């Protein structure tokens, strides 16, 4: 039996397959999702789970080198959530962020409904 706080088996399996330089995207419920990457849909209802809740768990369970947010989220609540977890984000346009989605190893869809509440997490290495 694996000891992990993450109970969602598909999410845990997907994260276990990530390596250095892979990207994991936390997506709000309105982000258009491309064909290709594995999508783990956690959305239950609008607002649940929130980006904050998912980011908190992933930040505790992944080595994250850095994060990328849409420039439209700069100086807003999404940036504050990242900064609170020592994930000083880089910024690109929302269109550029959407263009990077096909390269994601995993996209975790949340119920978040805040505009531009999407984060690209860049996997690091623990050594």
Q: Which residues are catalytic?
A: 20
Q: pLDDT tens string for the chain (127 positions)?
A: 677 899 999 999 999 999 999 999 999 999 999 999 999 999 999 999 999 999 999 999 999 999 999 999 999 999 999 999 999 899 999 999 999 999 999 999 999 999 999 999 999 999 9
- CATH class belonging to 22-123: alpha beta
Domain ranges for the chain, please list them.
Answer: 22-123
Q: Find the DSSP H helices in 1-127.
A: 9-16, 51-61, 77-84, 94-100
Q: Which helix (H) or strand (E) holds 113?
A: none
Beta bridge partners of 122: 23, 66
């Amino acid at each position: 039996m694996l000891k992990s706080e993450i109970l969602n088996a598909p999410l845990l399996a997907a994260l276990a397959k990530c390596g250095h330089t892979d990207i994991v995207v936390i997506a709000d419920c309105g982000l258009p999702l491309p064909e290709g990457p594995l999508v783990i849909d956690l959305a239950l209802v609008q607002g649940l789970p929130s980006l904050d809740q998912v980011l908190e768990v992933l930040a505790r369970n992944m080595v994250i080198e850095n994060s990328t947010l849409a420039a439209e989220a700069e100086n807003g609540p999404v940036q504050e959530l990242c900064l609170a977890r020592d994930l000083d984000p880089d910024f690109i346009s929302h269109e550029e962020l959407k263009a990077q989605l096909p390269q994601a190893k995993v996209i975790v869809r949340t119920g978040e409904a805040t505009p531009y509440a999407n984060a690209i997490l860049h996997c690091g290495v623990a050594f």
